Amino acid sequence: MSITEHAYAKVNLVLRVGAPRGDGLHPLCSIFASVDLADRVTLERAAEDQVVCAGIEGPNLAAAAVSAFRAEVPELPPVRVTIEKRIPVAAGLAGGSADAAAVLRAAEKLSEAGLCPERLRRLAAGIGSDVPSQVEPRHALVSGVGERVEPIELPRMSLVLLPSEEGLSTAAVFDELDRLRGGSPASLLDPRALRGLAGSPLSELAAAVENDLAPAATSLRPELAEAVESLLSSGALAAQVTGSGPTTFGIFGDRSGAVAAASQLDKAIVTEARRP
């Protein structure tokens, strides 16, 4: 028996980040757009636990997800996880987190343990800050240190992604944020400040696009500023770095505009905000 799940990428339309807490984690408040770019994750019984992902070596979040689930459900048999990657690696698109969440969903189905999404999110919180939001992949308002996830609706939109050949360490970007003393005050981390924005027309939402990590990511990779400018020059309603980067994105009102823009940009990816 095998279970296959899609692991969808996310784009941070708005990302506000606060000063680090005593435990070193940064509180945040973010509007996540779930997009149709996705990895394919298959889980099946095996003689021993194994994660197979072409081009990815060493420990990864998918393996951590298997361990976390088995700690909760010891009856889970040894499994082989096969990941077909489409989401760029270390790109700020939560590809690894989405894969880990897909593993949790697949393990729950394989084991028939009856764990509800809330219990899976609690397991996910111990794996990584972006994993809880991907347990039920959808547009979300995310706060706390990623553990508080509220489903939201977003207007239709197309996006053009500009990935980089070289990934960017999330930890390095947060360290640079702290060095630059960037981020938002605690008052702007209240999700009520963003809840109304999520339901706004696309023009208003695009005008509010922001990312507190963008200055830190651009400090480490100055070429990201040029990528953002190229998206704006190609007709994007808004453009920004997503997450800790280095992927940049542009928002378009329709797919034809996104496709036309992507044709002018090297290695651009056209994707859509997912519909319910």
pLDDT above 70 covers what percent of the chain?
99
Average pLDDT of the residues in 208-234: 98
Is the pLDDT score of 31 beyond 90? yes
Is the pLDDT score of 34 beyond 80? yes
What confidence score (pLDDT) does residue 58 get? 66
Average pLDDT of the residues in 96-116: 96
Is the pLDDT score of 54 beyond 90? no
Confidence of residue 73 (pLDDT cuts 50, 70, 90): very high
pLDDT in tens, 169-185: 999 999 999 999 999 99
SS (H, E, C) the chain: CEEEEEEEEEEEEEEEECCCCCCCCCCEEEEEEEEEEEEEEEEEECCCCEEEECCCCCCCHHHHHHHHHHHHCCCCCCEEEEEECCCCCCCCCCHHHHHHHHHHHHHHHHHCCCCCHHHHHHHHHCCCCCHHHHCCCCCEEEEECCCEEEECCCCCCEEEEECCCCCCCHHHHHHHHHHHCCCCCHHHHCCHHHHHHHCCCHHHHHHCCEECCHHHHHHHCCHHHHHHHHHHHCCCCEEEECCCCCCEEEEECCHHHHHHHHCCCCCCEEEEECCC
Is the pLDDT score of 144 beyond 80? yes
Confidence of residue 128 (pLDDT cuts 50, 70, 90): very high
Is the pLDDT score of 188 beyond 80? yes
Supply the pTM of this predicted model. 0.94
Is the pLDDT score of 28 beyond 90? yes
Which domains are assigned to the chain? 2-151 (3.30.230.10), 158-272 (3.30.70.890)
pLDDT in tens, 225-255: 999 999 999 999 999 999 999 999 999 999 9
- The single residue of 10, 39, 99, 212 carrying the catalytic annotation is 10
Report the C-alpha gap between 137 and 111 in whole angstroms.
Answer: 21
Average pLDDT of the residues in 81-88: 96
Our answer to whether residue 130 is catalytic in this structure is yes
- The single residue of 39, 99, 130, 212 carrying the catalytic annotation is 130
